[in-house]
Amino acid sequence: MKLQGLFLVAIICLSYTQLVKGQPSTNCSTTTCGKVTLEYPFGTSFSHDPDCYRSEDPSFKLTCDKEKLLFDDLEVVHVNYNASQLRVLIPVSYVCFNSQGHISSESNLIGRLGNLTLSKNNMLTAVGCDMVAYLSTAGSRRRTSVGCVSICDDPLPQVTDRQCNGVGCCQSPVPAWSNIFIVSRNRLRYTSVRSSTSPCIYAFLVENGTFKVSGVESVTNLQNTRFPVLLDWSIRGETCEQVGGIKKCGANSECSNSTDNTGYVCKCLQGFYGNPYLREEGCKDIDECTHPIHKHNCPEFSTCENIPGSFLCNCKSGYDLDTTTNICIPKDSPEYYTKWTQTVLGTTIGFLAILLVVSCVQQRMKHRKDAKLRQQFFEQNGGGMLMQRLSGAGPSNVDVKIFTEEGMKEATNGYDDSRILGQGGQGTVYKGILPDNSIVAIKKARLGDNSQVEQFINEVLVLSQINHRNVVKLLGCCLETEVPLLVYEFITSGTLFDHLHGSMFDSSFTWEHRLRIAVEVAGTLAYLHSSASIPIIHRDVKTNILLDENLTAKVADFGASRLIPMDKEQLTTMVQGTLGYLDPEYYNTGLLNEKSDVYSFGVVLMELISGQKALCFERPQYSKHLVSYFASATKENRLHEVIDGQVMNEDNEREIQEAARVAVECTRLTGEERPKMKEVAAVLEGLIATKTKHQWSDQYPEPMEFEHLLGVEILSAQDETSSTGYDSIKNVARLDIEAGR
Query: CA–CA separation, 471 vs 397, rounded Å?
Result: 12
Query: CA–CA separation, 482 vs 20, rounded Å?
Result: 53
SS3 15: helix
Instruction: Provide the phi-psi class of 414: left if phi over 0, else alpha when psi is between -120 and 50, else beta.
Output: left
Query: CA–CA separation, 306 vs 291, rounded Å?
Result: 11
Contact 288, 272 (CB under 8 A): no
Query: CA–CA separation, 176 vs 736, rounded Å?
Result: 80
Query: CA–CA separation, 673 vs 717, rounded Å?
Result: 11
SS3 670: coil
SS3 572: strand
Query: CA–CA separation, 407 vs 487, rounded Å?
Result: 11
Question: Angle 111-116-118 (CA atoms, 0-180°, nearest 5)?
Answer: 65
Query: CA–CA separation, 384 vs 371, rounded Å?
Result: 16
Contact 219, 127 (CB under 8 A): yes
First to last CA, the chain: 77
Query: CA–CA separation, 130 vs 201, rounded Å?
Result: 9
**What pLDDT, on the 0 to 100 scale, is given for residue 734?**
33
SS3 47: coil
The one-letter code for the residue type at 138 is A
Question: Angle 212-205-200 (CA atoms, 0-180°, nearest 5)?
Answer: 75
Contact 139, 260 (CB under 8 A): yes
Residue 138 φ then ψ, to 5°: -145, 145
Sign of CA dihedral 83, 84, 87, 90: negative
**What pLDDT, on the 0 to 100 scale, is given for residue 93?**
94
What residues are labeled active site? 540
Residue 660 φ then ψ, to 5°: -65, -40
Query: CA–CA separation, 423 vs 452, rounded Å?
Result: 14
Query: CA–CA separation, 630 vs 638, rounded Å?
Result: 9
Question: Angle 480-485-487 (CA atoms, 0-180°, nearest 5)?
Answer: 125
**What pLDDT, on the 0 to 100 scale, is given for residue 573?**
63
Query: CA–CA separation, 230 vs 202, rounded Å?
Result: 20
The string over 16-51, giving b where at least 16 C-beta atoms fall within 10 Å of a residue's C-beta and e elsewhere, is eeeeeebbbeeebeebebeebebbbbbbbeebeeeb
Count Cα atoms within 13 angstroms, Cβ side, for 413. 9
Number of H helices, E strands in the chain: 14, 41
Count Cα atoms within 13 angstroms, Cβ side, for 659. 33
Query: CA–CA separation, 682 vs 523, rounded Å?
Result: 8
Nearest to 250 by CA among 232, 230, 225, 268: 268
Low-confidence ranges of the chain (pLDDT < 50): 1-21, 157-160, 193-196, 397, 566-567, 696-741
306: Cβ–Cβ under 8 A, 6 or more apart, which residues? 285, 287, 288, 289, 290
Query: CA–CA separation, 134 vs 585, rounded Å?
Result: 72
Number of Cβ within 10 Å of residue 718's Cβ equals 11
Sign of CA dihedral 518, 524, 526, 528: negative
CATH 1.10.10.60 fits 496-735, yes or no: no
Number of Cβ within 10 Å of residue 122's Cβ equals 23
- Please list the residues that pair with 105 across neighbouring strands: 96
Among residues of the chain, what percentage have pLDDT more than 70?
74
Burial class (CB in 10 A: 0-12, 13-18, 19+), 479: buried
Whether the bond between 41 and the residue before it is cis, its omega within 30 degrees of 0, is yes
CA R_g for the chain = 44
**What pLDDT, on the 0 to 100 scale, is given for residue 538?**
85
Contact 328, 315 (CB under 8 A): yes
Sign of CA dihedral 667, 673, 679, 683: negative
**pTM more than 0.75:** no
Query: CA–CA separation, 554 vs 534, rounded Å?
Result: 20
Tell me, which fold does domain 383-489 have in CATH?
Phosphorylase Kinase; domain 1 (3.30.200)
Nearest to 86 by CA among 121, 49, 58: 121
Structural domain spans, the chain: 85-232, 287-356, 383-489, 496-735
E strand or H helix that includes residue 169: strand 169-173
Nearest to 737 by CA among 614, 643, 636: 636
